[in-house]
């Protein structure tokens, strides 16, 4: 089974991803893939340098993330141009990793995709698991974790689809409002229900 794991900022998706790791599920991590595709020597980075100029590269050949961030921050056209280069590369690499795990004989693969719904990648997975929290918990955790004001935290949360919308598109939801134990129990319950846990234990 291909399980799509998603949530929202400060909902605890990374905590659940670690639980999957403990259970020895192979994981395709979209954030990690996004870093890999712009490594020196990659075609994607060459395309970015061609589009935005070679001064977006650091002396060691890596992408100057700060410079690229500043370039696209106030310019929607440039942001779209960058996304049009990076997103297809990320998708291609994610599918390559997924298919490699399957051909290596893994019966289940977790695709950890923070913006699964926003990017319309539901077709990449067979079941969708959303990690959700109450709005007040999400706000409190984000403010504490990133040392943000309430206004800054709310702006970041509102840049993503509301968790309530993601829950509607999910096959199962983990409510990560209480203890780690409670979250673990919910995960185990869902995986047993989906008939994917006993094969591992």
The per-residue DSSP string of the chain comes to -EEEEE--TTSSHHHHHHHHHHTT--EEEHHHHHHHTTSTT-HHHHHHHHHH-GGGB-TTS-B-HHHHHHHHHT-HHHHHHHHHHHHHHHHHHHHHHHHHHHHTT-S-EEEE-TTTTTTT-GGG-SEEEEEE--HHHHHHHHHHHHT--HHHHHHHHHTS--HHHHHHT-SEEEE-SS-HHHHHHHHHHHHHHTT-STTT-
Q: Would you state the pLDDT for residue 198? A: 66
Q: Would you state the pLDDT for residue 201? A: 45
Strand order in the sheet with 2-6: 27-29, 109-112, 2-6, 127-132, 172-175
Q: Would you state the pLDDT for residue 159? A: 85
- In angstroms, rounded to a whole number, what is the distance separating the alpha carbons of residues 194 and 45? 40
Residue 200 predicted with pLDDT over 70: no
Q: Would you state the pLDDT for residue 74? A: 81
CATH code for the domain defined by 2-193:
3.40.50.300
If you average pLDDT over every residue of the chain, what do you get? 94
Domains of the chain, by residue range, sit at: 2-193
Q: Kindly state the average pLDDT of the residues 180-184.
A: 96
**pLDDT tens-digit readout, 9-25:** 999 999 999 999 999 99
**pLDDT tens-digit readout, 131-155:** 999 999 999 999 999 999 999 999 9
Residue 199 predicted with pLDDT over 80: no
């Amino acid at each position: 089974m291909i399980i799509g794991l998603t949530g929202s900022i400060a909902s605890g998706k990374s905590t659940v991803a670690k639980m999957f790791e403990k259970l020895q599920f192979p994981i395709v991590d979209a954030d990690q893939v996004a870093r890999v595709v712009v490594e020196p020597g990659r075609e994607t980075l060459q395309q970015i340098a061609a589009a935005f100029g070679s001064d977006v590269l650091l002396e060691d050949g890596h992408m100057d993330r700060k410079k690229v961030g500043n370039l696209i921050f106030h310019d929607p056209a440039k942001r779209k141009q960058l996304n049009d280069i990076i997103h297809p590369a990320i998708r291609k690499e994610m599918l390559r990793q997924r298919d490699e795990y399957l051909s290596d004989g893994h019966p289940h693969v977790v695709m950890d995709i923070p913006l699964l719904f926003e990017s319309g990648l539901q077709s990449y997975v067979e079941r969708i698991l959303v990690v959700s929290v109450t709005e007040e918990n999400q706000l409190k955790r984000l403010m504490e974790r990133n040392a943000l004001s309430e206004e800054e935290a709310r702006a970041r949360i509102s840049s993503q689809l509301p968790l309530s919308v993601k829950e509607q598109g999910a096959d199962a939801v983990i409510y990560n409002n209480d203890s780690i134990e409670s979250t673990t129990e919910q995960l185990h319950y869902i995986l047993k229900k989906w008939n994917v846990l006993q094969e591992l234990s």
